[in-house]
Amino acid sequence: MKIAIYDPAPLRNDYLTVKYLEPMIEYGKDSGRDIGKITSFDGVANAHILFCSDYYTPEIGEKLKNNNNKIILFDINDSSYINNLTKLQAIDLMFKFSGIQQTRGSDELRISDNFEYTKQERYFIPDDVEWAAYVELRDSGRLLPMLYAPFYHCEVEHIPYEQKNKKAVIRGGHHYLRYHLFLNLLKHGLINEDSAFMTRVYFSDTMDERFKYCPECLSAFKQFNKIPYSYYKSHQRWGCNNPHMDWQADELEAGFFQNHGNHKWNNRCVPSFYKLTEEFEKNNGPVDWPLVENALNGEFIADEEFYKIINGNLLYGDYKWMFSVDIPPRFWQAASAKTINILPAWTRNQVQVPFLVEGDHYLTFEETFSDIDKFNSITKEQHDHITNKCFELYNLWINHDKYKAATHLMDHIFNNIESI
């Protein structure tokens, strides 16, 4: 069997090349496989051809099939969605870097104007024709989940349950749902002080003008090296350049807190998140403002420092936008540190590789945070059971030595390719 990898320069996805395609070529040759790179689809026949789905078109699919090739795509776009679903009839296999949706919909958080949390089902793929195409691709075995592994493997000290801080760490971009998880964990005394949202990059002189904050934000940051809550309180009006909402209006518009279409919130300015926190406080009681201020002025840290934070805490929490990648690299970083991942309940609606089971490999919270207090009573038995099982998977599927990917992971990929 001939395996050909199409991955021309300039690279479409550096992560895919370095973590998957290059190790597969190296390991494939070492294991006696006929594998190598091609620079064009022209003249290629009787081969299993692997490439990033960004390059795929129905015309390329027809050309490759006419030459008796098998088409294997790697789809990676920080989402569970697949583009051009109705145009994938020619492909033989797709590895999707996310979970694979098993239900037509999942419950989405809704936030009323008086800050009440409810939930409502939202379809993964609303269009009936596209949903039918997704189901056919999934149920035929031509759509498989793919592990989204951390870029680097680090050796991490494991701290026993008795010595761990019984709190949760949240670190990442200041996404709307993630920040609501932060607030609700904070409400129940479950947030670690090292939690942080990476706002500092938006004050950089090199930040894309489309995402840079207003001159008043930039001025305040230059003065204080952050935006203090006290400065926000004394500053009467900000020249906010968020085109999607006016968080400074005397009367907030209907649906102001609504989660659906949260592009108006994701990665927006620190003052707008202070306003959001004040509204949360009105309905949920006092918040720890120094901790909020510290979290909203966060910055990126090296992996070595990140591991020192997560391995000393009981929980690592995340709540990304709906139908995103529910099991991102940070999940596996927490697993390697023997820290329990907590995720929204909708996580159980997708199948992952490796196969993950709620209660065995992670814990969930209701999308409305109604059960968040249960994380105050996690036992040593729960901790040891979940972290040991997750660490076993990490060692099998991610930990690597000779190659930049684990041989078990590459065997999984090759076995599925060679079974076509």
Region 2-98+402-418: CATH code: 3.40.50.2300
Instruction: Please report the pLDDT score of residue 242 as a whole number.
Output: 87
Domain boundaries, the chain: 2-98+402-418, 161-397
For residue 265, give the amino acid letter: W
CA nearest to 141, candidates 300, 406, 360, 351? 351
State the pLDDT at residue 260.
67
The mean pLDDT of 235-242, rounded to a whole number, is 85
Q: From CA 284, how far away is CA 264, in angstroms rounded?
A: 23
Over range 265-287, report the average pLDDT: 94
pLDDT band at 209 (very low <50, low <70, confident <90, very high): confident
User: CA 307, 229, 190 angle in degrees (round to 5)?
Assistant: 40
Percent of the chain past pLDDT 70, that is, above it, reads 99
Query: Which residue is associated with the tokens 């870097």?
Result: 97
The pair of structure tokens assigned to 47 is 């081969």
Quote the CA–CA distance of 345 and 319 in Å, as a whole number: 10
pLDDT band at 205 (very low <50, low <70, confident <90, very high): confident
**Does 261 have pLDDT greater than 70?**
no
What is the mean pLDDT of the segment spanning 136-150? 97
Model pLDDT, residue 210? 82
Q: What is the DSSP string of 257-290?
A: T--TTGGGTTT--HHHHHHHHHHHHHHH----HH
Least Cα distance to 336 among 380, 390, 400 occurs for 390
Percent of the chain with pLDDT over 90: 86
- Domain 161-397 in CATH 3.40.50? The answer is yes
Is the pLDDT confidence value at 307 over 80?
yes
The pLDDT tens digits for 44-71 are 999 999 999 999 999 999 999 999 999 9
- For the residues 12-28, what does the mean pLDDT come to? 97
Q: Helices 329-336 and 303-310: crossing angle, nearest 10°?
A: 60
**In 78-170, at which residue ranges do the beta strands (DSSP E only) sit?**
93-96, 100-101, 105-111, 117-123, 143-145, 165-169
